[in-house]
Structure 1
Amino acid sequence: MQRPHARTESACSVALLLAALTACGGSAEADTRNPTAPGGVTAQAGSATSVHVMWERASDNEGVTGYDVYREGRKAASVDATKLMTDIEGLAASTAYTFTVRARDAAGNVSAPGAAAPVTTPATGPADEEPPTRPSKLRGEADSGRTVTLSWGGSTDDVGVTSYDVYQEDSRIHSVPGTRTTARLTGLRPGTVYTFTVRARDAADRSSPDSNALDLTTPSAPGAPASTAPTGLRTETTVQGKEFLVDLSWDQPETGGTIPAYQLFLDGKLTTTIVWGGTPPAGRATYRLTLTDPPGTRYSLKIRPKLPDGTWGDFSAQRTVVLPG
């Protein structure tokens, strides 16, 4: 007669646990709500055998965890929720394709597909021996705290430019057809310094050298504190024996107090903390970085200040350093 009693106790324990969860605001309900469909899906042929697919961020009651890209209804790629674009490779030249994108969440719920984006890959042209020339005179302006518009001078190629790729701190974030020399970028953060470059690409998937770098600062949100990013960051590299000396200089931000230190990042990783040996300088600051890597090594570089309250401020614009040969 003990086993029924044990089952009764177990059932009571489960009921009490559920009651406690409910009383504490918990919920035993599963997440069954689908994310919203990604909007703004576009597909741009990057070469005769590749297509660049982009879309806008979807939303979910618990949070989107990733996106799946479909080609003619079959899954072609999956990316995590931080990415809003991907390249689909291994396609056929002179072929029409249709791409859709679905969002998914941690519970396995999948959104409806976003609007289908058609694209036709270009024909394989004559032997393409040379990369495109560098895009010229990159310029732009911040339209709002979250959008900027860029424009540039077109490139030339021995066969033809198929697309222009926009890079933000060495990561490709947008592509437009080779017939366009403007781009509007959305989803940015207010009060943030961005560094953009543009590269041209041809049907053989060769890319041009970078355009000039363009720094743009998006306006701060109403009521938000002013940016604390250093500005006017410049670099000059010289050779001394087997070492490379990189001299940095920048204008310090207005913080209402003394800036006691800066952090220096190379390729996104903290490399050193610059601490002044005596009284911190006023106005424009300088620092010499010594590198011993092989000639041709490329670095991205940026800094941020330590504020008077002890917190770290905003990052400067990024600069690229290539050690001379």
Structure 2
Amino acid sequence: MQRPHARTALACSAALLMAALTSCAGSAEADTRKPTAPQGVTAQAGSATSAHVMWEQASDDKGITGYDVYREGTKVASVPPAKLMTDIDGLTASTAYTFTVRARDAAGNRSAPSAAVAVTTPAPTPADEEPPTGPVKLRGEAESGRTVTLSWGGSTDDVGVTSYDVYQEDSRIHSVAGTETTARLTGLRPGTVYTFTVRARDAADRSSPDSNALDLTTPSASGAPASTAPTGLRTSTSADGGEFLVDLSWDQPDTGGTIPAYQLFLNGKMTTTIVWGGTPPTGRATYRLTLTDPPGTRYSLKIRPKLPDGKWGDFSGQRTVVLPG
């Protein structure tokens, strides 16, 4: 025979279990809404056997966990949620293809397919042995805190330019057809310094050298603090025996106080902290970096200041240096 307090304990345990099961069931049923279909899908032929597909970010009540790309209804690629583009290889030259994109969430819900976009790969060009010339006079402006427009002078190629690829620092973020020399980039962050370059590509998938680097700072959001990024970063490289000297100079940001140090990043990794031996300079600052890597080694370089409150500030634009041969 169960005692009254035992029956009460069992009843409470059962009630708690039912509450937990009900809560879990409610959570499982909560995410039944499909993400929105990706918009702004475009496709460009990257070469005779590849295409570059891009789209705009979709939305979901719980969050996007990835995107699937389909060719004629067959899934050919899956990418993480932060990536809004992918290259599709293994195509056939002189062939028309149709692509769609679907978003998915953590519950496995998939959006409706995007609008279909068509692209035709160019004919093979086995005689195309030379890469295009680099785009020239890259320029642009920030339309808003999240959008910039770029334009550049076109490249030439012994056969023909099939596309232009836009890079933000060392990552390709956009592509347009070889007949276009402008690009509009969205989804950026307000109050941020972005460094853009452009490369031309031909049907043999050869890329040109980079265009000039262009720094653009998006306007800060209303009420947000001003950018603390150094500006006007310039570099020059020279050889000294078996070493290479990289001289940097930049305009220091107005932080309301003295900047005691800077962090120097090479290829995305913090390499050294620049600390002044005496009184920190005002106005334009300089620093000499010594490298001992082989000639032809390529480095991406950027800096950020230590603010008077001890926190690290915003990054400068990025510069690329190649050690001379």
Q: Show CA shifts across 1:105-158 (max 9, x none).
A: 122221111111111111123511111111111111111111111111111111
1-side partners of 2:18 and 2:271: how far apart? Answer: 51
**CA apart distance, 1:13:** 2.5
Task: Give the TM-score of the pair, scaled to structure 2.
Answer: 0.93
In structure 1, the residue matched to 2:45 is: 45
1-side partners of 2:15 and 2:289: how far apart? Answer: 66
- Runs (4+) of structure 1 exceeding 3 A deviation are 6-12, 17-23, 26-30
In structure 2, the residue matched to 1:33 is: 33
**CA apart distance, 1:8:** 10
Q: How many residues are paired up? A: 321
Q: Show CA shifts across 1:36-88 (max 9, x none).
A: 11111111111111000000001112211111111111111111011000000
Unpaired runs of at least 5, structure 2? none
1-side partners of 2:41 and 2:7: how far apart? Answer: 55
Two-structure CA RMSD over aligned residues (Å): 2.3
Q: Does 1:113 align with 2:100?
A: no
Relative distance call for 1:14 and 1:123 in structure 2 (3 A) is farther
Task: Give the TM-score of the pair, scaled to structure 1.
Answer: 0.93
**CA apart distance, 1:92:** 0.3
The aligned amino acid for 1:308 is P
**CA apart distance, 1:15:** 2.9
Moved more, 119-128 or 184-193: 119-128
**CA apart distance, 1:238:** 1.5
2-side partners of 1:155 and 1:277: how far apart? Answer: 47
2-side partners of 1:246 and 1:176: how far apart? Answer: 34
The aligned amino acid for 1:151 is S
Relative distance call for 1:17 and 1:287 in structure 2 (3 A) is farther
In structure 1, the residue matched to 2:162 is: 162
Give the conservation status (yes or no) of the 8 Å contact 1:162–1:202. yes
Unpaired runs of at least 5, structure 1? none
Give the conservation status (yes or no) of the 8 Å contact 1:35–1:105. yes
Query: Secondary structure in 2 aligned to 1:315?
Result: coil
**Pairing of 1:285-304 with structure 2 (within 5 A):** 285-304=285-304
In structure 2, the residue matched to 1:219 is: 219
Give the conservation status (yes or no) of the 8 Å contact 2:151–2:183. yes
In structure 1, the residue matched to 2:244 is: 244
**Pairing of 1:64-75 with structure 2 (within 5 A):** 64-75=64-75
2-side partners of 1:244 and 1:146: how far apart? Answer: 39
Give the conservation status (yes or no) of the 8 Å contact 1:126–1:159. no
2-side partners of 1:225 and 1:161: how far apart? Answer: 43
The aligned amino acid for 2:82 is T
In structure 2, the residue matched to 1:171 is: 171
Q: Show CA shifts across 1:251-271 (max 9, x none).
A: 100000111111111111111
Relative distance call for 1:131 and 1:7 in structure 2 (3 A) is farther
Moved more, 207-216 or 236-245: 236-245
Identity score, percent: 85
